Amino acid sequence: DTIQESVLLLLSSTLALSSSRAEQQKLIVDRHNALRRGVKPTASNMMKMEWCSAAAENAQNWANQCTLRHSPANLRRTNVQCGENLFMSSAPFSWSDVLQAWYNEEKNFEYGTGAKPKGAMFGHYTQMVWHNSYKIGCGFAFCSNTTYSYFYVCQYCPAGNLIGSMKTPYKEGEPCGDCPSACEDGLCTNPCKYQDLLGNCKNLKMLFGCSHSLVKKKCPASCKCTTQII
């Protein structure tokens, strides 16, 4: 009976946490948007997040592997490269608690400066509030043969936490300052569907223009998205 009870308990917690359920998807998206809306200092270019089934499929496939490690970059692609947050525990946590645990790293981060104190972890937080990571998909798996049996994976597209911009995950300013005509409750709704493949595309575009073959190939976002948030 006890074994049966624990199996039923496990099944119910696994089902409740399944991110294929519409209410879990809504919770994950709404919670992210609330946190993104509330950043301090405020953001002028923060995108409104939406659920992405392709990212969710990748996240679920990776969660099912039960490696408790980050997935390789090639398993983190939709039409763009995606970032990833992981959470592992020996007992089931609600998605709400998982997202809060990531967001709590905010106390280790100072906008424009980075880690405080030096060396403190803040990457889960900055990925959550990365201005142009506007698509999210998550997965959850129960991994019976590991110390941490509960494995949560969220993938964010396009990827955040870009080296060189870690201290400024978004642009400081009046909410929707960069998207006055595409704004919903303090969040921008005009995403760029492309992704630059180089970090210095802004400069390359200024120096060589988009008719230059390298710039055209490596900087599709900077070249094609003139009014959207990149």
| pLDDT single digits (tens) 211-225 | 999 999 999 999 998
User: Is residue 146, in this structure, part of any structural domain at all?
Assistant: yes
Instruction: Look at residue 2 and tell me whether its pLDDT is greater than 70.
Output: no
Helix (H) or strand (E) holding 115: strand 114-115
Total number of domains constituting the chain: 2
- Assess whether 108 and 217 both reside in one domain: no
- Assess whether 126 and 24 both reside in one domain: yes
- Assess whether 108 and 218 both reside in one domain: no
User: Are residues 87 and 97 in contact, defined by beta-carbon separation less than 8 angstroms?
Assistant: no
Instruction: Look at residue 3 and tell me whether its pLDDT is greater than 70.
Output: no
> Helix, strand, or coil here: 65?
helix
For helices 95-103 and 22-37, the axis angle rounded to 10 degrees is 20
User: Are residues 15 and 84 in contact, defined by beta-carbon separation less than 8 angstroms?
Assistant: no
- Cα-based distances in Å from 76 to 12, 157, 173: 29, 9, 31
The chain-wide mean pLDDT, for the chain, equals 92
Give the range of the structural domain holding residue 91, as residue numbers without chain letter.
2-157
Q: How confident is the model at residue 103 (pLDDT cuts 50, 70, 90)?
A: very high
Predicted local confidence at residue 139, as pLDDT = 97
Place of tokens 């993938």: 155
Distance of CA 134 to the CA centre of its chain: 7
- Assess whether 30 and 106 both reside in one domain: yes
Q: How confident is the model at residue 70 (pLDDT cuts 50, 70, 90)?
A: very high
Instruction: Look at residue 13 and tell me whether its pLDDT is greater than 80.
Output: no
> Helix, strand, or coil here: 156?
strand
Q: How confident is the model at residue 193 (pLDDT cuts 50, 70, 90)?
A: confident
Predicted local confidence at residue 12, as pLDDT = 60
Predicted local confidence at residue 229, as pLDDT = 87
- Cα-based distances in Å from 81 to 24, 32, 36, 48: 24, 20, 21, 18
